[in-house]
Structure 1
Amino acid sequence: MIETLEGFLRDYGYIVLFVGTFLEGETMVLIAGYLAKAGVLDLNWVILSSFAGTYLGDQTAFFIGRRWGHLLIKRTSSESWKRRTERVMYLLDRYNTWFIMGFRFIYGVRNVTPFALGASPIAAIRFMLLNCLAAFIWATSFGYGGYIFGHAMEGFLADIKHYQFYFFGGVGVVLIGIWARKRFFKREAAPAVMEERAENSVP
C-alpha cells in the first residue's frame, strides 16, 4: 500500500496529494514529505496541497451535514456510524474548541466529525475559521514529519521490501498447517464415525 501511494505521488504529484487529503490522507502526507526530502517534491507545495485538500474536504462534509445531517443520522441503519456520531457530540460538548482543532488527530472519529459538526448547532463561520487553522497545523506537522524523518521512512520502506517475502511465506506456512490439521483430524474421525454407525445398526 505504501509503495503504491509513493508511486502515485511520484507520477502525479500534488494532484494525488490533494485528492488523498480531501478524503483523509495522513499516510500520504508523510510519504509526500519524505519525497520532498528526497528532492522529488517541494515541501512548500506539499504543505499547501495537503492544507487545501483537508480543509476543503472537511468543509464539504460540514456543509453536507448542515444540509442533510439530521435526516441521514436519523435514517441510517449503521450502529457504528451512530455510535461514532454520539461520541463526536459528547467530545464537542466537553472540549468544544479544542476538539474542533484536534479531531484530525483522533483515530476513529476523523471521518465522521466534520459531518456530525455540520448537524450540530455550531456556527458555520466559527467552524470555518477553526477548521482553517487546524488544517494548517495538520498539514504542516505531517509534512515536516515526513521531511524530517525522511531517512527513517526510507529505511522503513526498505524493510517492507526486505521482509515482505518472509511475512507472506509465514502466512503460507500457517495456512498449510491449518489445512493439514483439518485433513488429519478428518481422517482420524472417519473410522470412528463408521464404527459408531455400525454399532448403532446392530439390532
Structure 2
Amino acid sequence: MHWMQDGLALIQPYIAAYGSFAIFLIIYFEALGAPLPGESALVAVAALATRGDINLTHALIAAFCGAVLGDSTGYAIGHFGGRPLLLRYGSYVKLTPERLTKLEALFRARGMWIVMGARFVAILRQLNGLVAGAVAMPWPHFLIANTIGAAAWVLVWGVGPYVAVDWFKAILH
C-alpha cells in the first residue's frame, strides 16, 4: 500500500498545480506507450476532487481525451510503421512471421474486445494502439473500441475512487 501512497504523493502536486492539462498529458503519453502512472493519476484526481481542489468533470474529460488521442496516435504510428518493424525486429521478442499472422487473425476475430479489455491491463494499455495499428485492425473498429474502453477505464478509475471516498466517509461516521 505504501507504493500507491508514494505514487499519489508524487503525482498530486502536478495535478494540483496544472489541473486538467496535467492529467491530459499523463494519460496521453501513457496511452502512447510511456510508462506513466495512469490509474494513480486518476485516483489522485478523485482525491483532489473530494477536497474541492480540482473540478472532477473537467479532469475526467481531459483524461478521456488523452486516452483516446494517445491510443489513436499509437495506432497511427503502428499502422504506418509498425508492421515492417515487427517483421524486422519481432524475433527479438519471439514474434515470428507465423506468430504475427496468428496475432493478425486474432485481432480480426476479437480485436474490438482486445482493445477494450487491454485498457485495464498496465502493459497492454501502453501497447494497445501500436499493436492494433501494426496488425492492420480496421480504423473504425479500433476507434469504437478505443472510445468505449477509454470511457469505461476513466469512469472506473476516476469516478470509482471519488464515490468510494464519500461511501467510506458515510460508513465511518
- Report the TM-score, using the length of structure 1 for normalisation: 0.65
| Aligned equivalents of 1:107, 1:86: Cα separation in 2 | 24
Contact 1:51-1:136 within 8 A present in 2 as well: yes
CA positional deviation for 1:65: 0.5
2:68 counterpart of 1:55: yes
* 2:56 maps to amino acid: L
Q: Give secondary structure in 2 for the equivalent of 1:35.
A: helix
CA distance 1:6–1:97, shift in 2 (3 Å):
same
CA distance 1:6–1:68, shift in 2 (3 Å):
same
The counterpart of 2:23, out of the listed 4, 10, 17, is 17
* 1:2 maps to amino acid: L
Q: CA RMSD in A?
A: 2.8
CA distance 1:30–1:40, shift in 2 (3 Å):
same
Among the aligned pairs, what percent are the same residue?
25
Question: What does 1:66-77 correspond to in 2, within 5 Å?
Answer: 66-76=79-89
Question: What does 1:52-131 correspond to in 2, within 5 Å?
Answer: 52-76=65-89, 79-80=92-93, 82=95, 92=107, 95-131=110-146
In terms of Rg, which structure is larger? Answer: 1
Contact 2:113-2:145 within 8 A present in 1 as well: no
| Aligned equivalents of 2:162, 2:95: Cα separation in 1 | 37
Q: Give secondary structure in 1 for the equivalent of 2:75.
A: helix
| Aligned equivalents of 2:94, 2:11: Cα separation in 1 | 28
Number of residue pairs matched by the alignment: 152
Contact 1:31-1:146 within 8 A present in 2 as well: no
* 1:102 maps to amino acid: G
Q: Give secondary structure in 1 for the equivalent of 2:146.
A: helix
Q: Give secondary structure in 2 for the equivalent of 1:40.
A: coil
| Aligned equivalents of 2:158, 2:102: Cα separation in 1 | 29
Q: Give secondary structure in 2 for the equivalent of 1:96.
A: helix
| Partner of residue 133, structure 1 | 148
CA positional deviation for 1:81: 8.6
Contact 2:60-2:158 within 8 A present in 1 as well: yes
- Report the TM-score, using the length of structure 2 for normalisation: 0.75
Q: Give secondary structure in 1 for the equivalent of 2:123.
A: coil
The counterpart of 2:12, out of the listed 3, 6, 11, is 6
CA distance 1:10–1:56, shift in 2 (3 Å):
same
